[in-house]
Amino acid sequence: MSGTSAARNDVQHAPRPLLLACYLSGVTTLGLGLLATALLRFERGSLLTMSGGATLALVTCFALVVLGELRPVISSRSIDPMGVALSTTFVFSVLLHFGVVPAMVLHTLATLLSGAVGRHTPRRILFNVAQYVLTNGAGWLVMVALGFVPTLAQPWTPTSLHDLAVVAAAAAACFVTNDVLVATAVALFAGESPLRALLADLRFQLTVSSAQYGLAPLVAVLMQDAPSLVVLAVVPMLAIHRSVAASVESHRQATHDDLTGLANRKLLVTRSRVAVAEALRTGEPCALLLLDLDRFKEVNDVLGHPVGDEVLRQVAARISTAVDPDAVVARLGGDEFAVLLPRVRDAAQACELAHRVVTVLDDALEIDGQLIDVEASIGLALVPEHAAGYELLFSRADVAMYQAKADRTGVQVYDATRDESSAARLGLISELRVALEQGQIEVHFQPKAHLADGSVAGVEALVRWRHPVRGLVPPDDFIPVAEHSGLMHRLTDVVIEMSLLQMAAWQRAGMTVPMAVNVSFRDLLDPDFTGRLTRRLDDFGLDPGLLTLEITERVLTADMDRARARLVALHAAGVRLSLDDFGTGWSSLRLLRELPVAEIKIDRSFVARVAVVEADAVVVRAVTQLAHGLGMQVVAEGVETALTWSAIADIGCDVAQGWHLARPMPGPAATAWLSERMLTPATSTSTAAAPRQRARVADDGAVALHL
């Protein structure tokens, strides 16, 4: 690893600038002193005795080291943008074959040249030189201790297993020295422990460095026996570069937002949990800022999504320039952004930074010659002042953001006196986390039937929380808390797992029952959601076509492009998609045209009155005809009377769901209900009689509320 953030950036940005400056100066002085001592003791006459092959090998290695310094492998998590230089193989080969002075000189010259090309600061270049000198010196000391002292006059080539053990020991010394030097500098710059900085990229460093050090003995053999072929060693090095670069890019895509390049929710949660734990351990606060753009939806509606996307990109860039280097800037989806401040002095300092963000967004954006004004509302909360965990920290920053939006103040610190539900919310978050861990979450199933003959069309999975004290907690009480606390993904995963488990049980009992499960917009933002879902379907041996995911049109409008990409991936995996609560949003027709949905569910507000209000009947009839014209199935939800059943059957809807058919029921009751209708010969196909009979199914007392 070459260079550090500390050497690259202004030292004054570090939490302890004096300590960092002393460390950099100390390492630089020690390294340059060692280099000077080695040069003074070097036998210059040995240069004159070098063979042509040895000279060719050294010159070739120098060229490859320079190229390696200019084209490093960059870790997706590395603070240092120089990453791991591919020069390691060739420098270490020179160290093994010709000794420490040629290796030090070669690496120093290459570092000076690459530093000049990269326009690095003198402080950084000198630190890099010292870092490499000390790294090579550590490997050399191990070789000397084991009795191996190669020189230009007497080169050494490893030829036995014992020799390879010496190589491994020297490589380990180089690796440890280099990583400790850099990790310490990074830790001092970031204000964290050296051990944490060392472990943050250790797996990446070990993977790449092991491959590079492992090739060095082969290069040393080429130096001895075929110097002209040393250049061919660049081929496996390029393979390493491409392989690791592809892996790094894959990791980056999983942890960063495609549109803006900022961290995504997944990475923010990971970094936030670390920052919260550190704040609780040291007592030094950390802060979370949640930012929402005011009237961004108007930009999308009036100017279109391409302009809206460019606004988001420019906003992301401005936020990034306004915050300190150790802050984590993330896009959560739509026009929601977050800034994690791992260390702040107090709320006043966090507010100062938040106002700095508001200020940089005050200047109008220019897109295609058009000026666009952007305003933001920012809410912030701190650990430990307002929360002692990430979920609650996020929730309270969210509350503060809505307070800022309501008051039009721009920035608002969380105020418990204005959060009427703070105590209840705190209790629910904590208890919901326990509920997820202890199995208090249940899934009830509400049947659906074909209107043509009353036969079973499937079921919808509806979440329930069986609280040990409160009893059955209504979904409307805890789902919003889950969405705003970061628990939504876990809740959805639990509901899907229980639903697939029930589907598999029914399948083993000889009943193939299609299942519908509601998912939130936050689930669609999760890049791993599709992969997790398809893996579980495979594990249970279920046909993806039996699963329908219901998405409401209201949540899709927040980030249409990302939602469309996720839905296309789910559709390609064979999962059916349903547009829930159809007719309650402004974008229905556009969604029907652009999204790969297989069915629409007409909202109960239209269905419930279809038999008595002609206007509602006209709407339902028009929607049904439109959906059928597009090849979609129509589900009418909220069918609570025989009159409504007959009316929607006459209109031509395909499937009905509601209390007239059956209320939501636990798994055993649903199994009995389905067995009676799917495993026994039908005695009647009357679409009127069947629903009336099914309405007598035992009621669990729960209202059918969606996940």
pLDDT tens string 514-558: 999 999 877 877 778 898 999 999 999 999 999 999 987 655 555
**Hey, what are 55's tokens?**
């000279």
3-state secondary structure of 597: coil
Report helix, strand or coil for 704: coil
CB of 365 within 8 A of CB of 372? yes
Report the alpha-carbon distance of residue 690 to residue 692 in Å, rounded: 5
The model's confidence at residue 584, banded by pLDDT at 50, 70 and 90, is low
Q: Provide the percentage of residues in the chain whose pLDDT is more than 90.
A: 33
pLDDT for the residue 306: 83
Phi, psi for 682 (deg, rounded to 5)? -70, 135
| pLDDT surpasses 80 at 196 | no
250: confidence class by pLDDT, cuts 50, 70, 90: low
pLDDT of residue 441: 94
pLDDT at 612: 86
The answer to whether 218 touches 229, Cβ cutoff 8 Å, is no
Whose CA is closest to 346, among 317, 320, 385? 385
Q: Which of helix, strand or coil describes residue 295?
A: coil
418-457 pLDDT per residue, tens: 665 555 666 677 788 889 989 999 999 999 999 999 999 9
> Which residues, in sequence order, are bridge partners of residue 656?
449, 636
Position 302 pLDDT exceeds 90: no
Query: How far is C-alpha 562 from the chain's CA centre?
Result: 14
Model confidence pLDDT, tens digit, residues 471-502: 888 788 788 778 766 688 889 999 999 999 99
Q: Is 50 exceeded by the pLDDT of residue 381?
A: yes
pLDDT at position 701: 31
Rounded to whole angstroms, how far apart are CA atoms 624 and 701? 31
Lowest mean pLDDT among 129-143, 240-254, 468-482, 693-707: 693-707
Q: What is the mean pLDDT of residues 663-675?
A: 94
The tokens for 336 are 């929601």
d(CA 643, CA 658): 13
For residue 693, is pLDDT > 50?
no
pLDDT (0 to 100) of residue 663: 92
In percent, how much of the chain has pLDDT > 70?
A: 82
> Tell me: the pLDDT tens digits for 277-292?
888 888 889 999 999 8
What is the C-alpha to C-alpha distance for residues 136 and 143, in angstroms, rounded to an integer?
11
At 43, is the pLDDT very low, low, confident or very high (cuts 50, 70, 90)? confident
Question: Cβ(323)–Cβ(353) under 8 Å?
Answer: yes
In the chain, CATH 3.30.70.270 covers: 265-419
Confidence of residue 234 (pLDDT cuts 50, 70, 90): low
- Report whether pLDDT(588) > 60: no
The CATH class given to the 444-464+486-694 domain equals: alpha beta
In whole angstroms, what is the distance from residue 439 CA to residue 268 CA? Answer: 27
Enumerate the β-bridge partners of residue 582: 602
Name, of 18-32, 235-249, 276-290, 499-513, the range with top average pLDDT.
499-513
CATH topology assigned to domain 265-419: Alpha-Beta Plaits (3.30.70)
Find the length of the chain: 707
Whether residue 77 is predicted with pLDDT greater than 60 in this model: the reply is no
User: What is d(CA 91, CA 88) in angstroms, rounded to the nearest whole number?
Assistant: 5
At 684 the pLDDT is 37
* Predicted pLDDT at 9: 44
Q: How far is CA 141 from CA 95, 166, 338, in A?
A: 11, 11, 49
CB-side neighbour CA atoms (13 Å) of 650: 12
pLDDT at res. 696: 31
Bridge pairing between strands 599-602 and 633-637: parallel
Question: What local confidence, expressed as pLDDT, does residue 574 receive?
Answer: 95
Residue with tokens 């997944």: 266
Per the prediction, the chain carries an average pLDDT of 81
pTM: 0.49
| pLDDT value at 141 more than 90 | yes
Q: Which 3 state secondary structure label does DSSP give 352? A: helix
Between 45 and 98, name the one with better pLDDT: 98
Q: Which residues pair with 579 in a beta bridge?
A: 551, 600
The residue with greater pLDDT, 201 or 646, is: 646
Rounded Cα–Cα distance for residues 643 and 42 (Å): 101
β-bridge pairing 441-450 and 655-657: antiparallel
Joined tokens for residue 621:
């009839």
Delimiting residues of CATH 3.20.20.450 domain(s) in the chain: 444-464+486-694
Q: How far is CA 578 from CA 169, 521, 602, in A?
A: 61, 14, 11
For residue 96, CA distances in Å to 1, 148, 164, 172 come to 20, 9, 11, 13
Report the pLDDT value the prediction gives residue 707, as an integer from 0 to 100: 34
The amino acid occupying position 625 is Q
E strand or H helix at 40: helix 17-40
Closest-CA residue to 168 (of 229, 226, 223, 209)? 209
